[in-house]
């Protein structure tokens, strides 16, 4: 190893990063994604705009309406107009759900006849639509149960215990996953530009003509990105724990260690892109496209991997995000650490990833004109 | 005048096509990438892994479990003890664990209150939420066997709450934004980097025409990308319903792309090289996409953010697109989206145009 | 004794063979010059020897033999390579000093007093000792070139490969550079391979390899090579047959006129004659251009340009007349490029007044109306790298509102006259510097401008194309009375200018006709001697 050469490259990269102000990106981007998404993504739907058409105007229908009014999930407006108008208002996206209480709702209910309440949900945003639908059903069934107390003999209550996230806070569920996303995207963008930039400008000749080996060149190029982003591991931790109040139950050492390995992987992904592309613009777009989407989809933020089917399940196992996020959620919310065999095996898988990707970069890098 | 405009457009298109790697990446972004985001995810609970421990003889417990069927739930897995169930939840193999206590059935038969213990892996909060409400509904329905309130629930516009089409469409809009901003900015910044900027300045052509032609060339590229993506992926593979007018969408997209190009111009005016373009566009686009309501509904945002979101042209574009595709909103009712995209987008393009114009 | 032996080296790109079966040997302390037309394979051979490009054949340097770029690794610590192109190996964001530190580090040079003294000497030689804090991105082309060069020399390599190192470098620095190279090879027995387009430089080398169409067609000392063409060189005589340039007539058939002393340029012409590849004579077709009626085309009064505290141009008065070729000469960093850019409006004017074609130029609007009458070739002569040469030219023609038919004709004609016809459908980035330069010129001439601003248009262009280019300039001047402002580092080209202005440290130090310069310096044999008088 030529320590001095590597040092020289590191110093050069740092000067360039600072003077080109790219350094701002290194620290601004992760924090920005974290804050925007951490505050921004809400799985829970509150204040859904419900339009209730009450065709009965009875005591019971009023009780039902007041159940909706008291729910924090709904923001109710009453409408006596006809259904066509209501439909139009949903088409104009001014209403999320229409609930129609039929005529003689009270009468039929008291006579034990069946009656039907209509729910029309705007499912243009499907997950939101389903959630609202479930809430509305819940409110109605709950109301029905309490409206007819005599009949509810066989009542089952649910003792629900949420593991790891008692308060069911969105933050706890999302923020650790965001760390996995951020540490995939930001370092990859940085390292994707490092080599292709030299190819585009011609300074790569300095490497071609120098006694530096390919491995040394890669090490020299990647160390600055690695060191700069290592700091982000701590910064993101602080955001998670102190701004979003996510509990941290595991070992910090494990968190740190596995994050550094993960960092190596994302930097190696960027480097691979940098090695195969010819222009910076291609490198940037490619990196953003192939990191953000899988980073988000397979992070477990939106959906647990166990619920994925077929190809998605396979894809999730190909992208390293899943393994890292498993350990991450464990470190924050569960705290089992290496005692769990799964954590240990995932850690090993991550190490194998890092080794393979770095090796691949070394293999594909050319030290002569193409 | 016309000939110069088209010459510049042709030149930029040629430069784009010559960079085969870029063509491939753009095509990938509009097709495979949109496909992956559409196929990969399902936000409503689906295949939720349920595990249970049954200390009763089975009967009512099996009745409840039988209601947990596909596609929402995987066939429930039986565990011998609560410990084994917990371990599986810890390893994320099971998301919902149900424990039927020894007294459960007895109490229910006697008409007393019986209770069910449910363990939820709340790190998957959204799954946990919806699963819980599913369970609640199942149990409620079971309890009120004599009650007669039917719920006729209709999901309008997307009856199966099919998330594939929605995710694919959202990704298409995000890709459109990103590529349009970056490509437009790069068209200018590449000239700065390669030293052809001076040559461009010395052409006896009105700078306005150069800027317009250059941005128009990128608008064309993005527009073709949108058409390809729409044809092959969104409408092709995913058969997304297009309840509204295709031309309304095309027109809205056209205006929106100009707005994105305006952001690109602004970035091009500030950035000195492609590296800075990358940096600035990501920094600008993140909040833009966030404020659009793609991730979280606007009315659920902090009021300050709600106000800010009025300045995101993407907000109008996404809402408009949802309305056109799913709600099938008529032209007349689309005016707020068109107005928003044209006003905010026009403002953005004008600012970008002025900013880069100063460099000429 | 050190040696470099190159055997049967062939470099090809796809079906195109850049250099075929190149074989030569060099001994320690030798300087070998690579000369030949643009695109004749000089650079490709250099890439192969330096181990940065793939090749077939074998190279042996002392004990190290290699048959591919991969096997060349052991050579790298001993070798230094400077590729062709301006500022190619520099990092824009790094200052001059940081470059030297960086290259010292990657070459693991001990920072002892010897090295520091050597480093200082290199800096002084390059005239960069005053600019150590300046970022490479802010240097002028010539300065970039010199910085690249001294970065290459820093670790005193045993094998030094320089691809057109002096393109765009002023004569003073060139003399210094050669002193250094001479010293290195004498003291350390370094083998130096240099390609150059300056024939005066070539004449000083120990041995020359003459390249043509991908082959080495001759080798020997300059004197030996000159002897081979002596019988074909005659004094320039009009109407005598053969091919006439400004200073000689060449003919393969014996002519009945006196012989002239051959120069290395003769090699190019004789070789081209033998292969029947000479460029056609320049013709100016089309109707007589109506020239701008006033005599003074451009007038600058006290033009000043500052960058922070640094005064790049200090109150320069200059005028340019119709039908005049004005040479603007000066060392690198003297302010030539800044001045031209100010005339073009690429830099705002910080002081003084400017009149172009009789109109005062104050703002952007004033300029826009003038752009159609101006032609410009920049030092970096960058045209669009992602369009072919032909597409580039047609693009510029269309932008200049030249009818398609006329544009096609002009493109074809300039391609023929300036000798880039065979490259019309290639990408500029794949072409040698000299070819790029030629079609940049064509692009600047397409719209028949009234006034031409040419910033080192001939740097790195081979002898034949340069002669052709000057014939074209002189024809433009004489027939169409176009005014031309040109900067160059070929002092031989100064001889073709009507008037010469010398800049030094941003100020004008001389402004006179060629005759009067010679009259004032009776001892001078060439203009280079006069030039050096002003800068010593």
Which one of B42, B61, B70, B123 makes the best mutation probe of the A interface by having the most chain A beta carbons within 10 Å? B123
C441 close to C457: Cβ distance less than 8 angstroms: yes
Within this chain, do residues B171 and B205 fall inside the same structural domain, yes or no? yes
Q: How many domains does chain B have?
A: 2
Which residues make Cβ contacts (< 8 Å) with residue C470, sequence separation at least 6?
C246, C493, C496
Task: Give me the pLDDT at residue B148, please.
Answer: 57
Within this chain, do residues B24 and B152 fall inside the same structural domain, yes or no? no
Q: Do B3 and C401 touch (CB under 8 A)?
A: yes
* CA nearest neighbour of A69 among A51, A42, A94, A44: A51
Per CB-CB distance under 8 Å, the chain B contacts of C368 are 204, 206
What would the pLDDT profile of C482-514 be if each residue is shown by its tens digit? 899 999 988 888 888 999 999 998 899 999 998
Within this chain, do residues B280 and B143 fall inside the same structural domain, yes or no? no
* Length in residues, chain C: 536
Per CB-CB distance under 8 Å, the chain C contacts of A19 are 93, 135
Within this chain, do residues B130 and B168 fall inside the same structural domain, yes or no? no
Task: Give me the pLDDT at residue A152, please.
Answer: 46
Within this chain, do residues B334 and B239 fall inside the same structural domain, yes or no? yes
What are the φ and ψ backbone dihedral angles of C66, each rounded to 5 degrees? -150, 150
Within this chain, do residues B172 and B299 fall inside the same structural domain, yes or no? yes
Q: Do C102 and A8 touch (CB under 8 A)?
A: yes
**Domain-embedded: residue B98:** yes
Res A115 pLDDT > 70: yes
Within this chain, do residues B127 and B229 fall inside the same structural domain, yes or no? no
Provide the CATH number for the domain around residue B107: 3.40.1710.10
Res B146 pLDDT > 80: no
User: What CA–CA distance (Å, rounded) separates B28 from A289?
Assistant: 9
User: What CA–CA distance (Å, rounded) separates A45 from C336?
Assistant: 67
CA dihedral C137, C143, C147, C148 (to 10 degrees): 80
CA triple C234-C236-C237, angle to 5 deg: 105
Which residues make Cβ contacts (< 8 Å) with residue B63, sequence separation at least 6?
B142
**Domain-embedded: residue B42:** no
Within this chain, do residues B150 and B179 fall inside the same structural domain, yes or no? no
Task: Return the bridge partners of C453, or none.
Answer: C376, C485
Task: Give me the pLDDT at residue A61, please.
Answer: 82
Q: What is the mean pLDDT of chain C?
A: 87
ipTM of the complex: 0.85
Res A216 pLDDT > 70: yes
- Higher pLDDT: A247 or A115? It is A247
Q: Does B23 touch chain A (CB under 8 A)?
A: no
Per CB-CB distance under 8 Å, the chain B contacts of A280 are 273-275, 278
Task: Give me the pLDDT at residue C4, please.
Answer: 92
Within this chain, do residues B97 and B26 fall inside the same structural domain, yes or no? no
B263 close to B62: Cβ distance less than 8 angstroms: no
Query: What average pLDDT does this structure show over A92-113?
Result: 81
Q: Is the pTM of this model over 0.90?
A: no
Q: Does C390 touch chain B (CB under 8 A)?
A: no
Within this chain, do residues B172 and B289 fall inside the same structural domain, yes or no? yes
Task: Give me the pLDDT at residue C498, please.
Answer: 92
Which residue spans within B246-333 are E strands per DSSP? none
Task: Give me the pLDDT at residue C119, please.
Answer: 92
Q: Does B202 touch chain A (CB under 8 A)?
A: no
What would the pLDDT profile of B322-353 be if each residue is shown by its tens digit? 888 888 888 888 888 889 888 888 888 898 88
**Domain-embedded: residue B176:** yes
Res A167 pLDDT > 60: no
B86's enclosing H/E stretch is: helix B82-90
Domains and CATH numbers, chain A: 3-41+168-364 (no CATH), 48-147 (3.40.1710.10)
Q: Do A209 and C88 touch (CB under 8 A)?
A: no
Chain B residue with CA closest to C383: the answer is B196
Task: Give me the pLDDT at residue B161, please.
Answer: 61
- Which of B97, B121, B156 finishes a domain? B156
User: What CA–CA distance (Å, rounded) separates B348 from C133?
Assistant: 40
Within this chain, do residues B83 and B105 fall inside the same structural domain, yes or no? yes
Q: Does C77 touch chain A (CB under 8 A)?
A: yes
Q: How close A284 comes to chain C (CA, Å)?
A: 19
What does R_g of chain A's alpha carbons equal in angstroms? 28
User: What CA–CA distance (Å, rounded) separates C354 from C343?
Assistant: 8
Chain C residue with CA closest to A213: the answer is C73
C321 close to C299: Cβ distance less than 8 angstroms: no
Three-class SS of A40-63? HCCCCCCCEEEEEEECCCCHHHHH
Task: Give me the pLDDT at residue C401, please.
Answer: 87
Res B170 pLDDT > 70: yes
Q: Do B41 and A303 touch (CB under 8 A)?
A: yes
Residues 343-362 of chain C with CB under 8 A from chain B are 344-346
* Length in residues, chain B: 360
Res B246 pLDDT > 80: yes
The helix/strand/coil state of C346 is coil
Which residue's structure tokens are 């005659």? Answer: C234
**Domain-embedded: residue B40:** no
Label residue B23 exposed, middle or buried (CB < 10 Å: 0-12, 13-18, 19+): middle
pLDDT band at A151 (very low <50, low <70, confident <90, very high): very low
User: What CA–CA distance (Å, rounded) separates C437 from B80?
Assistant: 83
- How crowded is residue C180: how many other Cβ atoms within 10 Å of its Cβ? 18
What does R_g of chain B's alpha carbons equal in angstroms? 27
Q: Do C81 and A4 touch (CB under 8 A)?
A: no
Chain C residue with CA closest to B360: the answer is C364
User: What CA–CA distance (Å, rounded) separates C386 from C40?
Assistant: 23
Q: What is the mean pLDDT of chain A?
A: 83
Label residue C475 exposed, middle or buried (CB < 10 Å: 0-12, 13-18, 19+): middle
Task: Return the bridge partners of A162, or none.
Answer: B120
Partner residue opposite C398 with nearest CB, options B4, B195, B206: B4
Domain of B70, in residue numbers = 50-156
Q: Do A369 and C102 touch (CB under 8 A)?
A: no
Task: Give me the pLDDT at residue A76, please.
Answer: 83
Task: Give me the pLDDT at residue A307, please.
Answer: 63
b (16+ CB within 10 A) / e for B289-318: bbbbbbbbbbebbeeebeeebeebbbbbbb
- Structure tokens given for C4: 């470099």
**Domain-embedded: residue B43:** no
- Higher pLDDT: A230 or A307? It is A230
- Which of B156, B173, B189 finishes a domain? B156
C500's enclosing H/E stretch is: strand C499-504
Partner residue opposite B162 with nearest CB, options A126, A193, A305: A126
Residues (pLDDT < 50) of chain C are none
Res A165 pLDDT > 60: no
Q: How many CB pairs under 8 A join A and B?
A: 375
pLDDT band at A153 (very low <50, low <70, confident <90, very high): very low
Q: Do A41 and B295 touch (CB under 8 A)?
A: yes
The single-letter DSSP state of residue B229 is I
Res B217 pLDDT > 90: yes
**Domain-embedded: residue B39:** no
Task: Give me the pLDDT at residue B41, please.
Answer: 60
- Which of B121, B156, B191 finishes a domain? B156
Query: What average pLDDT does this structure show over A356-361?
Result: 93
**Domain-embedded: residue B125:** yes
Res B147 pLDDT > 60: no
**Domain-embedded: residue B25:** yes
Which one of B204, B214, B357 makes the best mutation probe of the C interface by having the most chain C beta carbons within 10 Å? B204
Q: How close A161 comes to chain B (CA, Å)?
A: 5
What are the φ and ψ backbone dihedral angles of A191, each rounded to 5 degrees? -75, -20
Task: Give me the pLDDT at residue C160, please.
Answer: 93
Within this chain, do residues B333 and B352 fall inside the same structural domain, yes or no? yes
User: What CA–CA distance (Å, rounded) separates B323 from C192?
Assistant: 72
């Amino acid at each position: 190893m030529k320590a001095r050469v590597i040092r020289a490259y590191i110093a050069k990269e740092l000067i360039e990063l600072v003077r080109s102000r790219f350094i701002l990106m290194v620290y601004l981007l992760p924090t920005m994604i974290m804050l925007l998404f951490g505050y921004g993504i809400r799985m829970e739907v509150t204040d859904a705009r419900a339009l209730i058409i009450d065709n009965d105007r009875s005591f019971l229908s009023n009780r039902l309406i007041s159940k909706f009014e008291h729910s924090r999930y709904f923001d109710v407006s009453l409408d006596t107009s006809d259904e066509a108008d209501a439909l139009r208002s949903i088409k104009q996206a001014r209403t999320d759900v229409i609930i129609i209480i039929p005529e003689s709702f009270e009468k039929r209910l008291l006579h034990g006849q069946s009656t039907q309440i209509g729910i029309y949900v705007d499912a243009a945003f499907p997950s939101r639509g389903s959630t609202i639908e479930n809430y509305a059903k819940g409110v109605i069934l709950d109301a029905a149960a309490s409206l007819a107390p005599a009949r509810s003999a066989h009542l089952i209550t649910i003792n629900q215990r949420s593991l790891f996230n008692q308060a069911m806070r969105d933050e706890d569920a999302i923020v650790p996953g965001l760390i996995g996303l951020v540490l995939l995207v930001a370092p990859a963008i940085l390292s994707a530009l490092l080599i292709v930039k030299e190819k585009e400008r011609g300074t790569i000749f300095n490497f071609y003509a120098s006694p530096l080996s390919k491995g040394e060149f890669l090490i020299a190029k990647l160390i600055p990105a690695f060191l700069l982003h290592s700091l982000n591991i701590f910064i993101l931790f602080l955001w998670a724990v102190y701004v979003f109040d996510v509990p941290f139950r595991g070992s910090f050492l494990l968190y740190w260690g596995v994050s550094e390995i993960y960092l190596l992987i994302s930097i190696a992904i960027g480097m691979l892109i940098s090695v195969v592309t010819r222009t910076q613009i291609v490198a940037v777009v490619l990196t953003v496209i192939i990191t953000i989407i899988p980073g988000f989809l397979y992070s477990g933020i939106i959906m647990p991997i166990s619920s994925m089917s077929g190809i998605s399940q396979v894809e999730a196992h190909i992208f390293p995000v899943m393994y890292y996020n498993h350990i991450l959620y464990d470190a924050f919310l569960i705290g089992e650490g290496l005692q769990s065999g799964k954590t240990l095996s995932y850690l090993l898988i991550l190490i194998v990833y890092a080794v393979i990707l770095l090796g691949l970069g070394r293999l594909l890098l050319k030290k002569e004109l193409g | 005048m016309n000939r110069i405009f088209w010459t510049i457009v042709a030149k930029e298109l040629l430069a784009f096509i010559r960079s085969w790697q870029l063509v491939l990446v753009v095509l990938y972004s509009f097709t495979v990438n949109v496909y992956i985001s559409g196929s990969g995810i399902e936000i409503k609970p689906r295949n939720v892994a349920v595990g249970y421990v049954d200390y009763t003889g089975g009967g009512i417990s099996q009745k409840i479990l039988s209601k947990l069927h596909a596609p929402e739930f995987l066939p429930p897995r039986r565990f011998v003890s609560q410990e084994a169930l917990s371990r599986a939840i810890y390893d994320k193999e099971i998301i919902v664990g149900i424990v039927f206590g020894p007294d459960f059935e007895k109490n229910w038969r006697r008409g007393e209150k019986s209770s069910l213990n449910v363990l939820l892996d709340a790190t998957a909060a959204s799954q946990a939420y919806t699963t819980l409400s599913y369970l609640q509904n199942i149990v409620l329905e079971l309890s009120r066997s004599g009650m007669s309130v039917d719920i006729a629930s209709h999901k309008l516009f997307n009856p199966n709450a099919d998330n594939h089409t929605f995710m694919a469409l959202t990704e298409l809009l995000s890709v459109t934004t990103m590529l349009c901003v970056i490509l437009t900015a790069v068209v200018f910044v590449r000239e700065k980097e390669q030293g052809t900027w001076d040559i461009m300045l010395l052409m006896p052509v009105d700078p306005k025409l150069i800027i317009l032609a250059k941005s128009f060339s990128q608008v064309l590229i993005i527009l073709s990308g949108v058409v390809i993506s729409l044809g092959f992926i969104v409408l092709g593979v995913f058969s997304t319903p297009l309840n509204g007018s295709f031309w309304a969408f095309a027109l809205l997209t056209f205006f929106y792309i100009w707005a994105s190009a305006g952001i690109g111009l602004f970035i091009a005016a500030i950035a000195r090289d492609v590296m800075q373009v990358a940096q600035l566009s990501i920094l600008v686009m993140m909040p833009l996409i966030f404020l659009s309501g793609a991730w979280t509904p606007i009315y659920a945002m902090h009021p300050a953010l709600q106000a800010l979101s009025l300045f995101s042209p993407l907000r109008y574009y996404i809402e408009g697109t949802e309305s056109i595709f799913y709600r099938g909103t008529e032209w007349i009712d689309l005016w707020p989206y068109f107005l928003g995209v044209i006003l905010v987008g026009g403002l953005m393009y004008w600012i970008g145009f002025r900013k880069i114009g100063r460099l000429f | 004794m050190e040696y470099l032996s190159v055997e049967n080296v062939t470099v090809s790109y796809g079906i195109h063979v850049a250099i075929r079966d190149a074989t030569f040997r060099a001994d320690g302390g030798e300087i070998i010059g690579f000369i030949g037309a643009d695109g004749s394979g000089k650079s490709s051979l250099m890439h192969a020897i330096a181990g940065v490009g793939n090749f077939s054949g074998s190279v042996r340097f002392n004990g190290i033999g290699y048959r591919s770029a991969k096997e060349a690794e052991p050579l790298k610590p001993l070798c230094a390579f400077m590729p062709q192109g301006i500022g190619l190996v520099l990092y824009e964001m790094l200052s001059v000093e940081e470059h030297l530190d960086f290259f010292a580090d990657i070459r693991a040079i001990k920072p002892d007093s010897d090295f520091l003294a050597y480093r200082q000497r290199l800096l002084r030689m390059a005239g960069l000792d005053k600019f150590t804090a300046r970022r490479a991105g802010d240097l002028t082309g010539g300065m970039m070139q010199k910085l690249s060069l001294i970065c290459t020399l820093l670790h005193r390599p045993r094998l030094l490969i320089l691809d057109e190192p002096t393109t765009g470098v002023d004569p003073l620095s060139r003399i210094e550079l050669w002193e250094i190279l001479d010293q290195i090879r004498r003291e350390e027995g370094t083998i130096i391979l240099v390609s150059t387009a300056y024939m005066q430089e070539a004449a000083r080398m120990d041995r020359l390899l003459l390249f043509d169409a991908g082959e080495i067609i001759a080798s020997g000392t300059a004197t030996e090579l000159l002897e081979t063409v002596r019988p074909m060189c005659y004094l320039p005589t009009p109407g005598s047959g053969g091919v006439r340039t400004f200073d000689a007539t060449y003919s393969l058939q014996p002519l009945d006129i006196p012989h002239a002393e051959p120069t290395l340029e003769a090699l190019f012409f004789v070789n081209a004659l033998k292969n029947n590849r000479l460029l056609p004579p320049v013709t100016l077709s089309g109707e007589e251009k109506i020239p701008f009626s006033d005599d003074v085309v451009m007038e600058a009064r006290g033009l000043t340009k500052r960058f922070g505290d640094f005064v790049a141009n200090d109150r320069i008065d200059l005028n340019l007349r119709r039908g005049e070729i004005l040479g603007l000469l000066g060392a690198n960093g003297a302010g030539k490029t800044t001045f031209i850019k100010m005339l073009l409006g690429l830099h705002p004017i910080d002081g003084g007044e400017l009149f172009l074609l009789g109109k005062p130029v104050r703002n952007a609007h004033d300029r826009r109306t003038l752009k159609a009458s101006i032609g410009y070739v920049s030092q970096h002569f960058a045209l669009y790298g992602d369009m072919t040469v032909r597409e580039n030219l047609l693009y510029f023609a269309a932008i200049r509102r030249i009818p398609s038919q006329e544009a096609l004709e002009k493109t074809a004609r300039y391609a023929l006259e300036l000798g880039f016809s065979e490259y019309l459908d290639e990408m500029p980035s794949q072409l040698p510097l000299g070819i790029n330069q030629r079609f940049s010129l064509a692009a600047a001439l397409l719209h028949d401008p009234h006034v031409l601003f040419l910033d080192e248009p001939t740097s790195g262009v081979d002898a034949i194309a340069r002669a052709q280019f000057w014939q074209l300039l002189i024809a433009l001047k004489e027939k169409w009375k176009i005014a031309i402002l040109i900067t160059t580092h070929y002092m031989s080209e100064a001889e073709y200018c009507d008037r010469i202005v010398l800049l030094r440290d941003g100020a004008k130090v001389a402004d006179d006709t060629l005759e009067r310069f010679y009259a004032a310096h009776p001892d001078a044999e060439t203009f280079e001697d006069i030039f050096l008088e002003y800068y010593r």
